[in-house]
């Protein structure tokens, strides 16, 4: 599903290299977790994959289902099936959540040459999915993320993901700022979307999210590279011993 | 004090081309008084402080700049609403194109036909608020309007009007030079909504005087657009009584030179005055100026000024806004915000926000910002699959939302948003 080969990327303004030859393969149907200390390049990886300005790819490739995504605009990557759940979802005053969702769903359908979803169907689907995430009608009506609590913002991210039905979901520190109940709700939303033709890349600092979204594979990212790959037990090891030993071991 | 020679000459040249109506009836006196004011003040010039950001040249020239563009619109703004339409073509009332001016609780009379009639309230009001509005800043083009207005409408609301009155302006002649003067009186407890839209003339000078008695409510929504050659100066003078409400919103797109002045005086306690504007300018010929002056003369009144401008491809936006709190106007709640979203580096926003406060127990705030599109929010929208151009449109609507929310009627608000969205999709890039 996702194939990253020797990816090198720098901050455009400072020219500082953040990703230093990263290799990663995520198969369809699998959940891969990426853990790593602060500054290891976790968020940079999510931004480079989703096409945010400010990063320069200097070497390597990233393919989604065999398609090179690094040359695409962010909206083209989205239409190709990539979704990034933001660590800090953005507030957009004056644009209704529903309007935004419908614009996004139909823009992607249009880009893929599919028919737009009619208003009635859209309303029905969005209400169903919102209910599962305990997002009430009031939240759907409000401007995007305006006045939402941390938990509500993250649930709203998952709602967008559920509506857009991407092939590859990248969750960037989705657990940050969540209490246990909120985390469980978000995890349930993610787990409900696990399917043989969808892959997840879960970026996190802590192991606790992985109790709820159980990964198939865990990678440790340090200094712009994957330094170790293992099963869920690797996350437990990090939780117990920290990253220092692993980094030393890899050096 | 004698006027500077250049100003005197410009004023004389302009006045030479104007004539008062022959049978002005009761309006003869206020017209003569207004003419005397114009002669004493002189017409605005580039060196006047109040016209520092806007060149009044086209507005005071002896002849109007010809309009090359005569838009026809199959579905003009507000067309789906139930309303009483009053149509003015090149500044002249067109009875055939208008609805019967019949509305329960509302008296409607055409200015050009009213001057022989004994309409006391209008005779008392015509030119009165305009005359009062020159203190402390002169507004000579409004006085010129009072003196030489060729037509307009007198509206008196004595109860809650069941539907809005829509003043529709049409421009058919290349060189029409329209001067319209409307006088509106909202009696105690009455409630009236005025809608305005349409290209009025090659050059347009409009004054609206609005007197709102105790407990009266006045809503005003205006759409300025379509007329790409618009050169217009408009003045709204409002006087508010106790517990009365005034709310005005203007959408401005296209046009060459537009100066909208709004002068409001809160005279009775617990009055509420909101004036808002959303403006979209595209291209170096676009110049739009909002000039607002709100005076708090009573206690516990609330005023809001919310002006948002989106400018691109070298467009210019101006905002001059003032809140004046007079001695004794305690518990005043005054708010003023003027913001621009500049979509490129060629466009500019010129602002002069002012507060002048002579009471010690008030809450007044003002703010002015000038910025570019928020790249993080833009990326957020694009990452969901919304193409860049559409995402920019959404960001523009988001930016304008605070001003649009000042429109109270949901139906009108939605109509304005729909128009805006269409304008945006036609003006991408």
Residues of chain B whose beta carbon is less than 8 angstroms from a beta carbon of chain A are 374-377, 379-388, 390-391, 394-395, 397-402, 404-405
The answer to whether A104 contacts chain B (CB < 8 Å) is yes
Residue with tokens 């419908």: A102
Chain B residues whose beta carbon lies within 8 Å of the beta carbon of residue A108: 385
Contact present, B317 and B281 (Cβ < 8 Å): yes
Contact present, B181 and B152 (Cβ < 8 Å): yes
| Assigned token pair, B168 | 């529709």
The answer to whether A92 contacts chain B (CB < 8 Å) is yes
Contacts of residue B144, defined as CB under 8 A and 6 or more positions apart, other chains included, come to B14, B15, B18, B34, B38, B43, B179, B205
**pLDDT, tens digit, 9 for 90 and up, residues B205-220:** 999 999 999 999 999 9
Task: Specify if B126 maps to a domain.
Answer: yes
Span B387-395, average pLDDT: 95
Distance, CA of A207 to CA of A238 (rounded, Å): 8
Indicate whether B44 pLDDT > 90.
yes
Residue with tokens 């865990």: A218
Task: Specify if B119 maps to a domain.
Answer: yes
Secondary structure of chain A in the HEC alphabet? CEEEEEEEEEECCCCCEEEEEEEEEECCCCEEEEECCCCCCHHHHHHHHHCCCCEEEEEEEEEECCEECCCCCHHHHHHCCEEEECCCCCCEEEEEHHHHHHHHHHHHHHHCCCCCCCHHHHHHHHHHHHHHCCCCHHHHHCEECCCCCHHHHHHHHHHHHHHHCCCEEEEECCCCCCCHHHHHHHHHHHHHHCCCCCEEEEEECCCHHHHHCCCCEEEEEECCEEEEEECHHHHHHHHHHCCHHHHHHHC
Indicate whether B72 pLDDT > 80.
no
Q: What is the CA radius of gyration of chain B?
A: 21
Distance, CA of B290 to CA of B306 (rounded, Å): 11
> For residue B385, what is the nearest residue in chain A, using CA coordinates?
A75
**pLDDT, tens digit, 9 for 90 and up, residues B303-343:** 999 999 999 999 999 999 999 999 999 999 999 999 999 99
Q: How many CB atoms lie within 10 A of CB A167?
A: 17
Edge-to-edge order in the sheet of strand B203-212: B106-110, B153-157, B177-186, B203-212, B231-240, B257-266, B287-296, B316-325, B348-357
Distance, CA of B20 to CA of B27 (rounded, Å): 10
Distance, CA of B231 to CA of B254 (rounded, Å): 10
> For residue A163, what is the nearest residue in chain B, using CA coordinates?
B384
CB contact under 8 A, A94 and B379: no
DSSP string of B365-389?
A: EEEEEEE---HHHHHHHHHTT--HH
Distance, CA of B50 to CA of B153 (rounded, Å): 29
Contacts of residue B162, defined as CB under 8 A and 6 or more positions apart, other chains included, come to B103, B104, B105
> For residue A94, what is the nearest residue in chain B, using CA coordinates?
B398
A107 → closest Cβ in B374, B386, B398 = B386
Q: Three-class SS of residue B56?
A: coil
Q: What are phi and psi of A25, to 5 degrees?
A: -125, 125
CB contact under 8 A, B398 and A143: yes
Here the contacts of B130-135 (C-beta below 8 Å, separation 24 or greater) are B130/B34, B130/B207, B130/B209, B130/B235, B130/B237, B131/B30, B131/B33, B131/B34, B131/B37, B132/B237, B132/B239, B132/B265, B133/B235, B133/B237, B133/B263, B133/B293, B134/B37, B134/B41
Task: Specify if B429 maps to a domain.
Answer: no
Average per-residue pLDDT for chain B:
95
- Torsion angle of C-alpha atoms A7, A12, A15, A20, degrees rounded to 10: -10
Q: How many CB atoms lie within 10 A of CB A141?
A: 11
From B197, B237, B198, select the one nearest B218 (Cα to Cα). B237
From A53, A63, A32, A57, select the one nearest A204 (Cα to Cα). A32
Contact present, B364 and B394 (Cβ < 8 Å): no
Contact present, B202 and B176 (Cβ < 8 Å): yes
CB contact under 8 A, B381 and A100: yes
Tell me the nearest-neighbour CA distance from A231 into chain B, angstroms: 30
From B76, B254, B92, B232, select the one nearest B166 (Cα to Cα). B76
Residue A115, class by beta-carbon neighbours within 10 Å (0-12 exposed, 13-18 middle, 19+ buried)? Answer: exposed
The answer to whether A81 contacts chain B (CB < 8 Å) is no
A103 → closest Cβ in B375, B386, B401 = B386
The confidence band for B70, taking pLDDT boundaries of 50, 70 and 90, is low
Contact present, B227 and B67 (Cβ < 8 Å): yes
Q: Three-class SS of residue B158?
A: coil
Domain limits at B33? 5-14+22-373
CB contact under 8 A, A84 and B398: no
Chain A residues whose beta carbon lies within 8 Å of the beta carbon of residue B395: 92
Contact present, A203 and A173 (Cβ < 8 Å): yes
Q: How many CB pairs under 8 A join A and B?
A: 80
State which H helix or E strand residue B340 sits in.
strand B333-342
Contacts of residue B113, defined as CB under 8 A and 6 or more positions apart, other chains included, come to none
Q: What is the CA radius of gyration of chain A?
A: 18
Choose the mutation target among A103, A105, A142 for the interface with B, i.e. most B CBs under 10 Å.
A103
CB contact under 8 A, B404 and A92: no
Distance, CA of B382 to CA of A75 (rounded, Å): 5
**pLDDT, tens digit, 9 for 90 and up, residues B163-201:** 999 999 999 998 999 999 999 999 999 999 999 999 889
Distance, CA of B328 to CA of B239 (rounded, Å): 18
Tell me the nearest-neighbour CA distance from B313 into chain A, angstroms: 23
Angle, vertex CA B253, rays to CA B193 and CA A93, nearest 5: 80
The answer to whether A70 contacts chain B (CB < 8 Å) is no
Q: How many CB atoms lie within 10 A of CB A181?
A: 9
Span B344-368, average pLDDT: 96
Q: Three-class SS of residue B418?
A: helix
DSSP string of B78-109?
A: TTTS--EEEEEETTEE-TTTSPP--BTTEEEE
Chain A residues whose beta carbon lies within 8 Å of the beta carbon of residue B383: 50-52, 74-75, 77-78, 83-84, 86
State which H helix or E strand residue B157 sits in.
strand B153-157
State which H helix or E strand residue B392 sits in.
helix B388-404
Angle, vertex CA B358, rays to CA B352 and CA B364, nearest 5: 55
Chain B residues whose beta carbon lies within 8 Å of the beta carbon of residue A111: 385, 387
Task: Specify if B424 maps to a domain.
Answer: no
What is the longest distance spanned by two Cα atoms in chain B? 67
Instruction: Encode B263-274: b = buried (16+ Cβ within 10 Å), e = exposed.
Output: bbbbbbbbbbbb
The predicted structure's pLDDT at residue A246: 84
C-alpha neighbours within 13 Å on the C-beta side of residue A72? 23
Q: Which CATH number fits domain A2-250: 3.40.50.300, 3.40.50.1980, 2.40.40.20, 1.10.10.10?
A: 3.40.50.300
Q: Three-class SS of residue B211?
A: strand
| Assigned token pair, A42 | 């976790």
**Chain A 107-136, CB below 8 Å of chain B: which residues?**
107-108, 111
Task: Specify if B72 maps to a domain.
Answer: yes
Tell me the nearest-neighbour CA distance from A172 into chain B, angstroms: 13
Provide the residue-wise pLDDT of chain A in tens; the chain has 251 residues. 999 999 999 999 888 999 999 999 999 999 999 999 888 999 999 999 999 999 999 999 999 999 999 999 999 999 999 999 999 999 999 899 999 999 999 999 999 999 999 999 999 999 999 998 888 888 898 999 999 988 899 999 999 999 999 999 999 998 888 888 889 989 998 999 999 999 999 999 888 899 999 999 999 999 999 999 999 999 988 888 888 888 888 77
Tell me the nearest-neighbour CA distance from B384 into chain A, angstroms: 6
Distance, CA of B316 to CA of B282 (rounded, Å): 9
State which H helix or E strand residue B276 sits in.
strand B272-282
Residue B332, class by beta-carbon neighbours within 10 Å (0-12 exposed, 13-18 middle, 19+ buried)? Answer: buried
CB contact under 8 A, A94 and B404: yes
Percent of chain B with pLDDT over 90: 90
The confidence band for B397, taking pLDDT boundaries of 50, 70 and 90, is very high
Chain A residues whose beta carbon lies within 8 Å of the beta carbon of residue B369: none
> For residue B398, what is the nearest residue in chain A, using CA coordinates?
A94
* Domain count for chain B: 1
Q: Which residues pair with B294 in a beta bridge?
A: B264, B323
């Amino acid at each position: 599903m996702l194939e990253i080969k020797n990816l090198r990327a720098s901050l455009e303004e400072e020219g500082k290299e953040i990703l230093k030859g990263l290799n990663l393969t995520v198969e369809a149907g699998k959940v891969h977790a990426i853990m790593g200390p602060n500054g290891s390049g976790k968020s940079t990886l999510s931004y480079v994959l989703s096409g945010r300005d400010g990063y320069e790819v200097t070497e390597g490739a990233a393919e989604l289902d065999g398609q090179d995504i690094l040359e695409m605009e962010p909206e083209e990557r989205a239409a190709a099936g990539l979704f990034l759940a933001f660590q800090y979802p953005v507030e957009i005053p004056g644009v209704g959540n529903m309007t935004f969702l419908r614009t996004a769903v139909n823009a992607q359908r249009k880009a893929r040459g599919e028919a737009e979803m009619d208003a009635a169907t859209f309303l029905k689907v969005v209400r169903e999915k919102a209910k599962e995430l305990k997002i009430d009608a009031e939240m759907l009506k409000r401007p995007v993320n305006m006045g939402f609590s941390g938990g509500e913002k993250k649930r709203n991210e998952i709602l967008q993901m559920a509506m857009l039905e991407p092939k590859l979901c990248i969750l960037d520190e989705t657990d940050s700022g969540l209490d246990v109940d909120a985390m469980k709700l978000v995890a349930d939303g993610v787990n409900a979307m696990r399917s043989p033709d969808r892959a997840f890349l879960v970026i996190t600092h802590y192991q606790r999210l992985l109790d709820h979204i159980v990964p198939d594979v865990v990678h440790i990212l340090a200094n712009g590279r994957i330094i170790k790959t293992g099963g869920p037990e690797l996350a437990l090891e990090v939780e117990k011993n920290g990253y220092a030993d692993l980094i030393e071991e890899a050096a | 004090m004698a006027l500077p020679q250049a100003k005197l000459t410009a004023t004389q040249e302009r006045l030479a081309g104007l004539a008062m109506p022959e049978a002005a009836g009761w309006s003869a006196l206020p017209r003569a008084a207004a003419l005397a004011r114009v002669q004493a003040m002189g017409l605005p010039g580039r060196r006047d402080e109040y016209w520092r950001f806007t060149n009044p040249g086209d507005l005071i020239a002896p002849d109007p700049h010809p309009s090359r563009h005569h838009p026809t619109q199959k579905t003009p703004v507000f067309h789906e609403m139930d309303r009483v339409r009053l149509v003015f073509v090149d500044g002249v009332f067109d009875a055939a194109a208008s609805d019967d001016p019949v509305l329960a609780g509302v008296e409607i009379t055409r200015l050009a036909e009213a001057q022989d009639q004994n309409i006391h309230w209008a005779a008392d009001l015509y030119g009165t608020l305009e005359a009062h509005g020159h203190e402390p800043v002169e507004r000579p083009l409004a006085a010129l309007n009072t003196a030489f207005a060729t037509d307009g409408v007198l509206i008196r609301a004595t109860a809650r009007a069941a539907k809005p009155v829509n003043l529709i302006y049409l421009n058919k002649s290349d060189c029409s030079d329209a001067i319209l003067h409307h006088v509106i009186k909202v009696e105690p407890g009455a409630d009236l909504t005025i809608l305005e839209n349409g290209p009025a003339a090659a050059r347009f000078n409009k004054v609206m005087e609005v007197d709102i008695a105790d407990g009266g409510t006045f809503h005003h929504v205006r759409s300025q657009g379509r007329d790409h050659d618009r050169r217009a100066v408009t003045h709204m003078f409002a006087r508010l009584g106790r517990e009365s409400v005034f709310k005005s919103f203007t959408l401005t797109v296209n046009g060459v030179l537009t100066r909208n002045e709004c002068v409001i005086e809160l005279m009775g306690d617990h009055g509420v005055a909101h004036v808002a504007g959303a403006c979209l300018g595209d291209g170096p010929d676009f110049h739009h100026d909002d000039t607002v002056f709100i005076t708090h003369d009573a206690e516990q009144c609330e005023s809001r000024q919310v002006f948002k401008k989106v400018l691109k491809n070298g467009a210019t936006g101006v905002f001059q806004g003032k809140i004046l709190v007079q001695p004794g106007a305690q518990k005043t709640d005054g708010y003023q915000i003027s913001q621009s979203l500049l979509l490129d580096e060629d466009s500019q926003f010129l602002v002069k926000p002012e507060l002048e406060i002579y009471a010690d127990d008030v809450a007044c705030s003002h703010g002015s910002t000038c910025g570019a599109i928020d790249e993080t929010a833009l990326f957020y929208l694009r990452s969901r699959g919304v193409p860049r151009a559409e995402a920019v449109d959404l960001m523009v609507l988001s930016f304008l939302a605070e001003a649009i929310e000042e429109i109270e009627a949901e139906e009108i608000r939605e109509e304005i948003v729909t128009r805006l969205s269409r304008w945006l999709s036609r003006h991408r890039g």
